[in-house]
Structure formats: C-alpha cells, structure tokens
Structure 1
Amino acid sequence: MRIGQLARSVGINTQTIRFYEQQGLLPPPDRQENGYRTYTEKHGERLAFICRCRILDLSLAEIRELQRYQDDPRQPCAAINTLLDDHISHVRSQITALQELEKQLVSLRAGCSDGREVGACGVLAGIGKGSAHKQ
C-alpha cells in the first residue's frame, strides 16, 4: 500500500508517517521503480502501536524502548513495567502541576467580577502583581 492508504488506515497524516520513519520508529518502506513508497501490513501494525503509545503520552524514546522489547519477545517484561511505572509517576506529577495551575486560575478569576471595565480588571491586576507564580 502507498503512504496515503497507510495514513488513512491508521487515521494520521502522511507527514507524521515520514516523521516516524525519520525518527527510526517505523522501518523504511521498500520503493517501487517510480519512487513510491510501498508499505506492508507490518508497517500498519507498527504505526498503530506508535499511535496508541502517543495517546498514552509516551515519549518517542519510550516508544523506541518498547519497540526494542517487542522485537525481542523472549526477555522478561520487568523493564517494561519499570518504564510504565516511571511514566505513571510522570503523569501523576503533571496532574499535581495542573491542579496547582487550576487553583491559581480560580484564584485569579475570583478576583474579578463581571461589570468592571478593563482598567479595574482583577484578573489583569492579579497577573500584573505576580500572583500567578510559575511552578
């Protein structure tokens, strides 16, 4: 199949496929005499795996590591569990940071009621005074 067909089958654009090829996540396809790339079902499976990993917010390095394990399936999966545990920890840190951001935004919003002119806006005043601290 050609790149457009592969892109449609997985639901991504062709530039993303080329990017994953450049990053070494997707093996290079064979080329026809006219220069068109020819992809196999294996490419589609690998690409679908990459897309599912991205939905889980795994980094390209993490995906690369998981692919190495896929390519050598006789190894114990303890390292995969460690990778996922580390990722879960990272996600939890992001959740904590987002919850703190939410508190800051709610606090800023509470500082301004509707009906004011921009010159008296509590949100702008709060941001200007530095009440929104970067975490």
Structure 2
Amino acid sequence: MRIGEAAAAMGMTTKTLRFYEHRGLLPTAHRASNGYRDYGGETVARLDFIRRSRVAGLTLAQIGDILQVRDAGGTPCAHVRDALARQLTGLDRQITELVALRATVAEYYDAAAAADSVSCDSERICSLL
C-alpha cells in the first residue's frame, strides 16, 4: 500500500509516516519502480501500536525500545508493563505537583481578589506575588 493509503488508514499524515520511518519506528519502505513508498500490511498494525503507545504517553524513544525487542524476535510485554509502570509513577508525581501548585495559585488569587489594587506597592513589581 502507498504511503497515503497507510496514513489515511490510521488517520495520520504522510509526513508523520516519513518521520516515523526516519526515526526507525517503521522499517524502511520498499520503493516501487516509480519511487513511491510501498508499505506492507504489517505497517498498519505497527502504526496502530505506535498510536496507542503515544495515547498512553510513551515517548518515541520508549516506543522504539519496545519495537526493537519485538523486531529481535522477543516478546516485549514485560518491557511494555515496565514502561507503563514508569508512566504511572510519573503521572502520579505530576498530579501531586499540580495539586500543590493549584493550592498556591488559589492562595495568591484569594489574596489578590481581596486586595486593593490602587494601593499596590510601587517598590515591588507587584505586591500580589
């Protein structure tokens, strides 16, 4: 299948497929006699895996590592499980940091809402922060 067909099947652009090929996430496509990329049917399954991995927040480097395990004949399920565990740990940390940030911003906002902006301290850039 041509690059446009593969991209359309996955709701991606041809530029994305070329980028994935350049990054090594897709094997180099066979070139037809006219120079067009010609992808095999397994490309759609691989693109679907890449898309689902990106939705889960995995980086292209992590996806590449998983695909390398698969391409070497291994089963990458343990590797995927470990990557997802790291992703969950990172998300939990970010959520904790965001909750703390929200509390700080809410305190500043409450103080700002109650303050008289006319009496702002001119010595400081803004006395509200």
TM-score computed with the length of structure 1 as normaliser? 0.69
TM-score computed with the length of structure 2 as normaliser? 0.72
Choose which of 90, 93, 97 in structure 2 pairs with 1:93.
90
Q: Is the 8 A contact 2:3 2:38 kept in 1?
A: yes
Which runs of 5 or more structure 1 residues have no equivalent in the other structure? Answer: 129-135
Structure 2 equivalent of residue 2 of structure 1:
2
Counterparts of 1:96 and 1:3, CA distance in 2: 39
Counterparts of 1:89 and 1:72, CA distance in 2: 23
Q: Is the 8 A contact 2:26 2:43 kept in 1?
A: yes
Code of the aligned partner of 1:31:
R
Per-residue deviation, 1:71: 2.8
Bigger CA drift: 29-38 or 101-110?
101-110
The verdict on how the C-alpha distance between 1:93 and 1:106 changes in structure 2, with shifts beyond 3 A counting, is same
Counterparts of 1:36 and 1:108, CA distance in 2: 54
Point out the structure with max Rg over C-alpha: 2
Q: Size of the alignment, in residue pairs?
A: 121
SS of 1:111's partner is: helix
Q: Is the 8 A contact 2:2 2:39 kept in 1?
A: yes
Structure 2 equivalent of residue 50 of structure 1:
50
Per-residue deviation, 1:22: 0.4
Which runs of 5 or more structure 2 residues have no equivalent in the other structure? Answer: 121-125
Per-residue deviation, 1:85: 2.5
Which of structure 1's runs of 4+ aligned residues deviate more than 4 A? 113-120
CA RMSD between the two structures: 2.9
